[in-house]
Amino acid sequence: QQALVGQVSQYIMQRKMARMLLLAPPGRDIEMRTGRAERLAGRAARRSRETVAVVFVDLDNFKTINDCHGHGVGDVVLQVAAKRLRISMRGHDTVARVGGDEFVLVLTRCESRVAVEQTVDRLLDELAQPIVIGSGSVRLDASAGIALFPNHATDAQSLLRCADIAMYAAKRKGKGCCATYDAFAMLQQAE
């Protein structure tokens, strides 16, 4: 598991390093640097003999927020989303912003698929809380795809691909949804 979490961290960094930004309040890190993310996730995985979940989170209709309210508001929304993800997760899990409105979560010490799905549903509920900006507020929804090690894949790239496929399945279900990778179900939806 240690190698897997390291591979996920390394892949994330190689694929999206140019777009990654650190969005965290003082004292709270959203992991960004390859070495540090690998060390933190690796330590957590070494202590765990349980399932590791990779979760791909995409903010729904973020472009609309930028277009309607401006990029300044969009930046605040991203900062709030990052903060909500980080403070809602356990200390041994990892959060990385990997694109404009995309995050990857690495959850270690997962008890079961159901427990991971409940955690992700809770995170999506937290993200959906109104964000007060000035005299108004913005509502944010997110879609999430879940892939589990070793159930769905045993290497970082495959896990990220499975989580990404599941995230698009969640988007097809509607805003604010999550989906867990299921090769058979995903194949049938693609037909």
Q: What percent of the chain stands above pLDDT 70? A: 69
For residue 96, pLDDT over 60 is answered with yes
For residue 85, pLDDT over 90 is answered with yes
Q: Are 20 and 94 in contact (CB under 8 A)?
A: no
pLDDT (tens digit, 9 = 90+) per residue, 56-72?
A: 999 998 999 889 888 88
For residue 54, pLDDT over 60 is answered with yes
C-alpha of 99 from chain center: 11
Q: d(Cα 101, Cα 143) in Å, to the nearest integer?
A: 11
For residue 186, pLDDT over 80 is answered with no
For residue 21, pLDDT over 70 is answered with no
Share in percent of the chain as helix, strand, coil (round to 5): 50, 25, 25
What is the rounded average pLDDT of the residues 162-186? 87
Q: Confidence class of residue 15 from pLDDT cuts 50, 70 and 90? A: very low
What is the rounded average pLDDT of the residues 9-25? 44
Q: d(Cα 179, Cα 116) in Å, to the nearest integer?
A: 11
Please enumerate in sequence order all residues whose Cβ is within 8 A of that of 26, keeping only pairs 6 or more positions apart, or say none.
none
The pair of three-digit structure tokens given for residue 156, joined into one six-digit string: 């970082």
Burial of 70 (0-12, 13-18, 19+ CB in 10 A): exposed
Which position has the higher pLDDT, 37 or 177? 177
Q: What percent of the chain stands above pLDDT 90? A: 37
